Amino acid sequence: MRARIMTLLLSLVVCLLVALGVPLALAVAARQTEDVFIDRLNDTERFAALTEQAATDVDLPWLTSELTRYDEVYGINATVLDRDGSVRASSAPPGPGLASDPAVRAALAGRRSEAPRWIPPWQGEPLVVAVPVVRAGDVVGAVVTVSPTAALRQQVAWWWALVAGGVLVAVAVCVLITGRLTRWVLRPVHDLDNAAHDIARGCFDARVTGASGPPELRRLTTSFNDMADAVQTSWQRQRSFVSDASHQLRNPLSALLLRLQAVGMDLPPDQREDWASAQEEGRRLTRVLDELLALATAEEPTSPPEEILLDDLVDERISAWRPVAAERGIRLGRSGAADVRGFADPTALGSALDAILDNAIKFSPGRSRVTVHVEPAEQAVVVSVLDEGAGLGEDELGRIGNRFWRSPRHQNVEGSGLGLSIAKALLASFGGRLEVRNRERGLAVSVHVPALPGQGLTARK
């Protein structure tokens, strides 16, 4: 955003400076050209007056001497032409085609030269100034001065360089001012973006500090901080409620299970089945409360993310779950890349993988395979748990991770529907995310872990 704003402002400033600088440069060139032209015109008119006095050829040596001295002093060729364009007197042999020059033809027709608009530095042609010689009301010839323009062009180039330098200095000052202005305006926006990103990652105590920027943005940051306080308070109350409710319900439930166990010792055989069913429901409710407590704990980051070697963590979790998988006749293995590092909370990531592996083993058929596949991706490392179960319907995939949701096909499988919700909350605590998709055979539950830049990867055979 800062680059776009600076580009917009500087584009307007540059256009304004160019709109002012170009006419100024042209005006300077025109003024310098006009000064030189007027000076040459005055000299040419003086020679025209002298020529009018030189009525006979007897005066030509004197006139030629005047023209020669002028040429020697100023380096400007001066020539007197007759009415037919022939040379009558000259300080030096004129160049070819002088009589056909438009200024000379105009002078022989009775019109003196007009000043050129401006002479650019790259134009090397001389400045030709011609004035008619009039005697008794008739044009009898013309006086022509041919001036080199090197000094004029050099002076125009110097003025143009001065104007261009002024424009560049003005642009540099505008860049400095625009940079400071945009930083001042956008600093609150940048702070708001960082704070909002931190809150989205689960850091609810993030706030916008400082009081810089325009008044409107300062009010916005104050409102944002008030909103963040309200969100944090609501979130803490929710966590406290879930945690307190779980703790408060566990004690009576444990006492109830103990009483059921004691009562069952004196029950007749025909009531034992109902007694066992009541105990099983009590134990299921205990597991639900334990998972609710785990979910409440998972929603608050316990430690900051750090650089970890994912190979060790994945191998450790596979080793822990391999006996459980073997009891169900399921093979648990690993594939993909090795020597992969990520940026995560190892405890939270390990607990999330436990919840995902528990689900994969629980819902996979016997004599099937569950594979943990590690693969680097753009700005992340993807750890996927691939099973060979029945998968889910497309309408069910969007509900994965919702609390207490279970597929109707799995209602008879032990569980509470909180496993992936806990995994999702644990991953969000350090910037990870959960993705679920169907495979050709089974389900793929992928964990996206923030990757380290420039990490080396080798394929695991």
Task: Give residue-wise pLDDT tens across range 262-298.
Answer: 777 777 777 778 778 787 777 777 766 676 666 666 5
* Domains of the chain, residue spans: 2-154, 201-300, 302-459
Average pLDDT, the chain: 82
What backbone torsions phi and psi does residue 418 show, to the nearest 5 degrees? -110, -5
The pLDDT, as a whole number, for residue 90 is 85
CATH domain 302-459 topology = Heat Shock Protein 90 (3.30.565)
For residue 17, what are the contacts with CB-CB under 8 A and spacing of at least 6? 167, 170, 171
Q: Token pair for residue 159?
A: 């003025």
Is 442 in contact with 387 (CB distance < 8 Å)?
A: yes
Instruction: Say how many C-beta atoms besides its own lie within 10 A of residue 1's C-beta.
Output: 11
Task: Give residue-wise pLDDT tens across range 47-97.
Answer: 888 888 776 655 678 888 888 898 888 888 998 888 888 888 888 888 777
Q: What share of the chain in percent tops pLDDT 90? A: 13
Cα 197 from chain centre: 17
Give the range among 184-193, 342-351, 405-414 with minimum mean pLDDT.
405-414
Task: Give residue-wise pLDDT tens across range 305-343.
Answer: 888 999 899 999 999 999 999 998 999 999 988 888 898
Is 334 in contact with 315 (CB distance < 8 Å)?
A: yes
Is 249 in contact with 206 (CB distance < 8 Å)?
A: no
- Cα-Cα end-to-end distance for the chain: 46
The pLDDT, as a whole number, for residue 457 is 45
Q: How confident is the model at residue 459 (pLDDT cuts 50, 70, 90)?
A: very low
Q: What architecture is the 201-300 domain classified under in CATH?
A: Orthogonal Bundle (1.10)
Number of H helices, E strands in the chain: 10, 12
Please give the torsion angle defined by the CA atoms of residues 88, 94, 96 and 102, in that order, rounded to the nearest 10 degrees. Answer: -80
Does the structure show a pLDDT above 60 at 458?
Answer: no
| C-alpha span between 198 and 374 (Å, rounded) | 27
Radius of gyration of the chain (CA): 47
| C-alpha span between 183 and 221 (Å, rounded) | 16
Class (C level, CATH) for 2-154: alpha beta
Is 338 in contact with 458 (CB distance < 8 Å)?
A: yes
Task: Give residue-wise pLDDT tens across range 161-206.
Answer: 999 999 899 989 988 888 888 888 888 888 888 888 887 766 777 8
